[in-house]
């Protein structure tokens, strides 16, 4: 007999080789049909796994992030089975879970159509009704290769031939068998709601030199209600898509003739960007940062010393040869900031040194992953590097995290998630440096009052970091601020300062970005606000409109008064009906609409409408200017 404890507190004695599902059914019967998999002594297994020793079992349900991943991975197998039933000659490749749902890539003779998706989805529903078990089978690798050769599944054979293990695991679902580590849900019957969402082309292993495959995206849930809620949010997400809104509001464009992933800011988008830049510069000057500008290219020697050519070359644009010297466009600003630090001999009295730049960088992203403003090839980072003594680390990190949160709140964000990534197995820097750095990140999160999650072993090899994400109205998580220690570059570039005792010491170096990149941050803002920017960010804050041409002169005077007060204003004084003008302003998401008719012109007042609230009424121009200024000063803290 062995003793088994559930993480929920229940325990009991069981015969050796009792399956995990039987243990849970006895100790926690209310979880029957809810548990997807189990974690035994910290490792995840199928529910059908036999228990061979005394242990602690943690039930995993769909409510857990890991449970969702397992559920969606299993759903991708169901989809593969459905595709094989509908398209007999289809060859399967890989089918992982993703953030919301799953996909599977297939080698088929033609592109999937909407009608094909409908057939596949119907077949998936039948498979779920069949309640087929997911059976795990462990076999020698050579036996698996033989099996998949017989099945003419060439891609599985290719994957198997690269696996070093002598034994591999397969999963059988009905007549479909797949190479997979697992774990999986007990049976297809757990999936009670499924929807196939879209298709796209995808190169095998993401390499343009390989064959183009057909990818199908899907989503699934244990019940219909969750699917309905998801689809409603999906429709809302489509209406918030920054690519769609960016075009409608004339904010930016990406032109294929100019280059994929290269953004052109149109006048309105450029205005928003300039507002953000001016705000950023003022906040950084007030916080004691020194602002710098650095080149867009640098010699190859620079990137050799930094290590980018060793570890990051595939993400860099090809080199340029100029006067027998090799140059690269910069993928990062760090080496330039380091040379600013090295430009003078530094004393302990000089530290902390905080260098900041809105630096444009270029990275070669594969065309398949480019996505509007969210994933581009040229972007401007709100970059900063802080050089500190060991005794300054905790205070500077606390200040930096508090600064990041305060800036994000000005943009209207107030729902944060914080992740602290700790030392990985392979790392540089002493244990003491890692402990000091990691503890400073934890203390900073506590000081600002943020709940945080420790991501054990997920730090970069060169230092721990803290990531701050925001969550929007659709429960989507957006990455914003990052504070990253770097124990690597100070060594590579031999950074020093003279300490109190006259000895040379190595400073701690901290990378820091509040917005990540202006492009991505603006994409997030567009979707977060659905294009309805808070007043301080709106490219046009007010539009003056006339009912007839008789009011033109007075309207022009009103426009000038707004401009003199620093209000961003335009006018619509054409001959169209006022209802059309108002509707157009609403479509363009203008915050304040000023309507001037005969009565307003005679009395020297204005009629004011506010987007989303309708008519406010007649008032003096000075009163609206004061209202706008007061609202503007609050930034986005009360606007979302």
Half-sphere exposure of 419 (CA within 13 A, CB side): 15
The answer to whether 2-61 and 535-633 have equal CATH topology is no
Q: Is residue 46 flagged as an active site residue?
A: no
Catalytic position from the list 116, 383, 486, 572:
383
Confidence of residue 33 (pLDDT cuts 50, 70, 90): confident
Confidence of residue 97 (pLDDT cuts 50, 70, 90): very high
pLDDT of residue 581: 95
pLDDT of residue 535: 95
pLDDT of 248 higher than 60: yes
CATH of domain 66-239: 3.30.980.10
pLDDT of residue 157: 95
pLDDT of 478 higher than 90: no
pLDDT of 640 higher than 80: no
Q: How long, in residues, is the chain?
A: 640
Catalytic position from the list 91, 242, 354, 385:
385
pLDDT of 481 higher than 60: yes
Could you give the CA distance from residue 24 to residue 33 in angstroms, rounded to a whole number? 10
Q: Is residue 308 flagged as an active site residue?
A: no
pLDDT in tens, 603-625: 999 999 999 889 999 999 999 99
Q: Is residue 549 flagged as an active site residue?
A: no
Q: What is the mean pLDDT of residues 414-438?
A: 89
Catalytic position from the list 381, 484, 541, 551:
381
CB atoms within 10 A of CB 233: 15
Q: Is residue 73 flagged as an active site residue?
A: no
Catalytic position from the list 91, 156, 363, 581:
363
pLDDT of 305 higher than 90: yes
Question: Which residues, other chains included, contact 339 with Cβ-Cβ below 8 Å and sequence gap of 6+?
Answer: 493
pLDDT of residue 207: 80
pLDDT in tens, 47-63: 999 999 999 999 999 99
Q: What is the mean pLDDT of residues 75-92?
A: 96
Could you give the CA distance from residue 467 to residue 156 in angstroms, rounded to a whole number? 37
Could you give the CA distance from residue 526 to residue 478 in angstroms, rounded to a whole number? 12
Catalytic position from the list 284, 308, 354, 465:
465
Pick the CATH number of 535-633 from 1.20.210.10, 3.40.50.300, 3.20.20.70, 3.40.50.800: 3.40.50.800
Q: Is residue 337 flagged as an active site residue?
A: no
First to last CA, the chain: 59
Boundaries of every domain in the chain: 2-61, 66-239, 252-294+333-529, 535-633
pLDDT of 358 higher than 60: yes
Interaxial angle between packed helices 224-240 and 518-529, expressed in degrees from 0 to 180 and rounded to the nearest 10: 120
Q: For all residues of the chain together, what is the average pLDDT? A: 93
pLDDT in tens, 521-546: 999 999 999 999 999 999 999 999 99
Catalytic position from the list 195, 337, 511, 512:
511
Q: Is residue 334 flagged as an active site residue?
A: yes
Could you give the CA distance from residue 610 to residue 617 in angstroms, rounded to a whole number? 10
pLDDT of 479 higher than 80: yes
CATH of domain 2-61: 3.10.20.30
* Pick from 505, 463, 478, 364: nearest CA to 412: 478
Interaxial angle between packed helices 141-150 and 154-162, expressed in degrees from 0 to 180 and rounded to the nearest 10: 160
pLDDT of 638 higher than 90: no
pLDDT of residue 525: 94
pLDDT of residue 471: 84
Is residue 497 within a helix (H) or strand (E), and if so which, with residue range?
Answer: strand 497-498
The whole-model pTM stands at 0.83
CATH class of this structure's domain 252-294+333-529: alpha beta
Q: Is residue 77 flagged as an active site residue?
A: no
Confidence of residue 639 (pLDDT cuts 50, 70, 90): very low
pLDDT in tens, 562-593: 999 999 999 999 989 999 999 999 999 999 99
pLDDT of residue 591: 96
pLDDT of residue 447: 86
pLDDT in tens, 145-195: 999 999 999 999 999 999 999 999 999 999 999 999 999 999 999 999 999
């Amino acid at each position: 007999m062995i003793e088994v404890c559930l993480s929920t507190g229940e325990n009991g004695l069981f015969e050796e080789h009792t399956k995990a599902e039987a243990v849970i059914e006895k100790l926690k019967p209310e979880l029957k049909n809810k548990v997807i998999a189990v974690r035994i002594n910290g490792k995840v297994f199928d529910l059908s796994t036999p228990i061979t020793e005394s242990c602690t079992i943690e039930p995993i349900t769909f409510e857990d992030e890991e449970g969702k991943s397992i559920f969606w991975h299993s759903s991708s197998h169901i989809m593969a089975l459905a595709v094989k039933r509908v398209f007999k000659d289809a060859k399967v490749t890989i089918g992982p879970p993703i953030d919301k749902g799953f996909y599977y890539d297939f080698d088929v003779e033609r592109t999937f159509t909407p009608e094909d998706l409908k057939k596949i989805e119907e077949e998936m529903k039948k498979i779920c009704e069949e309640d087929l078990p997911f059976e795990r089978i462990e076999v020698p690798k050579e036996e698996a290769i033989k099996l998949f050769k017989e099945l003419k599944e060439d891609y599985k054979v290719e994957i198997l031939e690269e696996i070093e293990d002598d034994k591999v695991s397969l999963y059988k679902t009905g007549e479909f068998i797949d190479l997979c580590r697992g774990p999986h849900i007990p049976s297809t019957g757990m999936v009670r709601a499924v929807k196939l969402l879209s298709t796209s082309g995808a190169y095998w292993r993401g390499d343009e030199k390989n064959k183009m495959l057909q990818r199908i995206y899907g989503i699934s849930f244990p019940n219909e209600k969750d699917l309905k809620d998801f689809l409603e949010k999906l429709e809302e997400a489509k209406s918030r898509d920054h690519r769609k809104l960016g075009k409608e509001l004339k904010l930016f464009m990406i032109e294929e003739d100019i280059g994929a992933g290269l953004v052109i800011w149109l006048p309105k988008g450029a205005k928003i960007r300039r507002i953000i830049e001016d705000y950023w510069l003022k906040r950084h000057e007030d916080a004691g940062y020194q602002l710098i500008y650095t080149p867009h290219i640098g010699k190859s020697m620079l990137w050799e010393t930094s290590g980018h050519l060793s570890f990051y070359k595939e993400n860099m644009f090809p080199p340029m040869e100029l006067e027998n010297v090799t140059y690269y466009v910069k993928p990062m600003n760090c080496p330039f900031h380091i040379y600013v630090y090295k430009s003078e001999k530094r004393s302990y009295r000089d530290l902390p040194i905080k260098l900041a730049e809105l630096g444009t960088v270029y990275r070669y992203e594969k065309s398949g992953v480019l996505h509007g403003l969210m994933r581009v090839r040229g972007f401007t980072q709100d970059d900063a590097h802080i050089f500190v003594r060991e005794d300054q680390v905790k205070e500077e990190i606390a200040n930096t995290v508090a600064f990041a949160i305060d800036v994000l709140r000005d943009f209207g964000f107030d729902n944060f998630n914080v992740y602290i990534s700790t030392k990985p197995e392979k790392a540089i820097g002493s244990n003491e440096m890692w402990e000091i750095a990691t503890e400073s990140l934890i203390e900073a999160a506590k000081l600002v009052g943020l709940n945080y999650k420790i991501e054990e072993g997920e730090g970069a090899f060169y230092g721990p970091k803290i990531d701050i994400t925001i969550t929007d109205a659709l429960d989507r998580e957006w990455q914003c601020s990052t504070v990253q220690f770097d124990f690597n570059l100070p060594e590579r570039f031999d950074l020093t300062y003279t300490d109190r005792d006259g000895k040379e010491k190595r400073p701690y170096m901290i990378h820091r970005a509040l917005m990540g990149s202006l492009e991505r941050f603006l994409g997030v803002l567009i979707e977060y606000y659905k294009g309805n920017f808070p007043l301080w960010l709106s490219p046009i804050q007010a539009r003056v409109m006339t009912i007839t041409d008789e009011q033109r002169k007075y309207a022009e005077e009103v426009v000038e008064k707004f401009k003199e007060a620093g209000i961003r204003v335009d006018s619509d004084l054409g001959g169209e009906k006022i209802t059309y003008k108002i509707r157009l302003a609403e479509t363009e998401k203008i915050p304040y609409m000023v309507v001037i008719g005969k009565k307003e012109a005679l009395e020297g007042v204005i009629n004011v409408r506010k987007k989303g609230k309708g008519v406010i009424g007649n008032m003096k121009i000075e009163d609206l200017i004061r209202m706008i200024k007061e609202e503007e000063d609050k930034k986005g803290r009360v606007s979302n």
